[in-house]
Amino acid sequence: MFRVLKFAIAIWLTGSFVSSTAVAQSDNHNNDIIDVIQITGTRIPQPLSEVGSSIGVITAKDIELMGYRNAIDAVASVPGVTVNQNGSFGAVATVRIRGALSEQTLVLIDGVPVNDPTSPGGGFDFARLDTSNIEKIEVLKGNQSTLWGSDAIGGVVNIVTKRANNTSTKVFSEIGSFSTYRGGGETNIAKERFFG
């Protein structure tokens, strides 16, 4: 009798768990609001609404709508960020977050630090970074040295590139006034085990 009762309770608990899971999944499908997931503030994927740090996120859609051609222009649109460029287009361009020095801003591309260790300050030159292959830019403002080390005293700029879905090649060129021109190309490769 005790085994039968135990078996009945186990079946009842399993049924209630399956039904509650189905209700939770149906509620998730009805939710039309998609929260932005970021990784810079906590080093783990987390919804932007749950992060206590001050973060600015620029998506590929924002870049397209605003017509940003260079990453430096997109990063400059975030409040609390100052851009310095020594000369015209193509000259050294650096980012300062909340008044900190440019070498106190850690720059990551797909999670890899790209600050130049050979330069005197160790900063990153944004001058030739194009937006054509950028999926998202996360700008973490404020002292984050506890998570990212001493290079992140001013903040962190995390650039996430687009993920290739198929194999494709793209070439572009632009011609402007004052004898200016711009061109480039990219190749995306996507296989079952890797993409790049």
pLDDT per position as a tens digit, 37-81: 656 666 677 777 777 677 888 999 999 999 898 899 999 999 989
CA distance 131 to 127: 11
The pair phi, psi for residue 138, each rounded to 5°, is: -110, 130
At 21, is the pLDDT very low, low, confident or very high (cuts 50, 70, 90)? Answer: very low
The residue type at 179: S
Output the pTM of the full model.
0.69
CA distance 15 to 21: 10
Residue 185 pairs with which residues in a beta bridge? 171
What architecture (CATH level 2) is domain 37-162? Beta Complex (2.170)
DSSP string, 70-110: BHHHHHHTSTTEEEEESSSTTS-EEEEETT--GGGEEEEET
* Contact yes or no for 144/53 (Cβ under 8 A): yes
For the cut 50, the answer to whether the pLDDT of residue 25 exceeds it is: no
For the cut 90, the answer to whether the pLDDT of residue 159 exceeds it is: yes
Domain borders along the chain are: 1-32, 37-162
